[in-house]
Amino acid sequence: MIDREILINKFKSFSISERLIIINVLCFFIPFIINTLFFLFNFSLGNLSSWIELSPKISVLLLKPWTLLTYSFFHSGFSHLFWNMLILYYSGSIFLNLFRKDTFINIYFLGVIFGGLSFVISYLIFPVFQGSFPSMIGSSAGVMAILIFTCTYTPETEIRLLFFNLKMKYIGILLVLIDLVMIPYGNSGGRISHLGGAFLGYIYAINLSRGNDIGLFFEKSWKKILKFLYPSSIKKVYSSDNKSKSQKNKQRHNQDQIDAILDKISNSGYDSLTKSEKEILFRESNK
C-alpha cells in the first residue's frame, strides 16, 4: 500500500499550477469510475452533473452559486482536458518564475469566475442564444487568464514551438483571435467564456504593471475561507514590533530588487534579465 503521508508530501512538493493539473486530471477520471460502480450495483446516477456544471440560467445559478467555480474542474473530453492542461503547464511555469503562487490563484480563479459570468450574461443579452440553455464545464477561462496575463506582462518572452521560437504576445493574440472568430461555429458560449477569462488576465496584468494588484480583495476572501475551514493549516505572518532594524532593511532591499526586476521585464521582456536576476525571481516566487 502507498503511504498516505508520502502522497500528501509529494503533492505539496508540486507547484500550484502542477497541483491544479493533477486535480483536473483526477476530476476527469473519477466520474468514469463512479459511473462504473453505480452501473455494477444497479444504482441510478440521476443528474449529478447538474450540481457541478454552470448553467446559463440566472435562476439556476442563484440556487447553485458554487457552480461558478466547480464547472472549471471538469472537462467534456480528453482532448479538452489535454490542451487546457498543456497550456496551463507552460504558461504557469513562466508565471511562477515571476510571481507569487497567491497571485496565480487570484488570476486563475478570478478568470474562472469572470469567464463564467461572461457565459451567463451572453445568454441573457444576445438574441442568438434565446431559448437555448446548454451547461458549461472546463477550465479554459482560468487557463486563458493565466496565459494572457503572462503574454501581456512579458510580451517579448519566447517559447519553443517545434522548430521555431514564438513570442508570448503573438501566442496570446492568436488564441484570442481563434476564440473570437470561432464563436459562430460551435461552442459559442464556451468561446465567450474564454474571452472573458482572457480579458481578466489582460486587465490584471495592465494594473499590476502600474503597481495596482486588483486581486488583493479576492485573496483576502479566499484566505479567510481557508482559515475558517482549515485553521491549523493556514499560517499568517505578521510584522511584529520586535523585528530588528536589520531584518526590516533586508526585506526592503529584497522588495526593491524585485520591483526593479519586474520593471525591467515590463520594459524589455524576461529574456533581458541576467542569470542572477532570474535566480532572485525564482527564489522569491518559491517562498
The mean per-residue pLDDT over the stretch 25-32 comes to 91
Q: What nine digits make up the cell of 4? A: 498516505
CA distance 168 to 150: 8
Smallest Cα–Cα separation from 140: which of 115, 166, 164? 115
Task: Tell whether the model's pLDDT for residue 245 goes beyond 50.
Answer: no
Task: Tell whether the model's pLDDT for residue 235 goes beyond 80.
Answer: no
Task: Tell whether the model's pLDDT for residue 200 goes beyond 60.
Answer: yes
Cα 40–chain centre separation: 37
Task: Tell whether the model's pLDDT for residue 159 goes beyond 70.
Answer: yes
Same domain, 168 and 256: no
Q: How many domains does the chain have?
A: 2
Q: What is the reported pLDDT for 125?
A: 93
Same domain, 65 and 119: yes
**Whole-number CA gyration radius for the chain:** 21
For residue 244, name the pLDDT band (cuts at 50, 70, 90): very low
Same domain, 172 and 42: yes
pLDDT digits 0-9 by tens, 98-128 = 888 999 999 999 999 999 999 999 999 999 9
Q: Contact at 8 Å (CB) between 139 and 253?
A: no
Residue 259 lies in a domain: yes
Same domain, 174 and 270: no
CATH code (residue 194):
1.20.1540.10
Q: What is the reported pLDDT for 2?
A: 58
Residue 81 lies in a domain: yes
Residue 9 lies in a domain: no
Same domain, 63 and 187: yes
Task: Tell whether the model's pLDDT for residue 241 goes beyond 80.
Answer: no
For residue 248, name the pLDDT band (cuts at 50, 70, 90): very low
Same domain, 209 and 267: no
The domain in which residue 185 lies consists of: 15-229
Query: What is the DSSP track for 166-212?
Result: EEHHHHHHHHHHHHHHHGGGS-HHHHHHHHHHHHHHHHHHHHHHTT-
Same domain, 214 and 81: yes
Residue 2 lies in a domain: no
Same domain, 225 and 252: no
The DSSP 8-state label assigned to residue 268 in this structure reads H
Main-chain phi, psi angles of 180, to 5 degrees:
-65, -45
Smallest Cα–Cα separation from 17: which of 107, 116, 79? 107
Same domain, 275 and 176: no
Residue 4 lies in a domain: no
Same domain, 258 and 221: no
pLDDT digits 0-9 by tens, 29-65 = 988 888 888 888 887 766 778 899 999 999 999 999 9
Q: Contact at 8 Å (CB) between 158 and 165?
A: yes
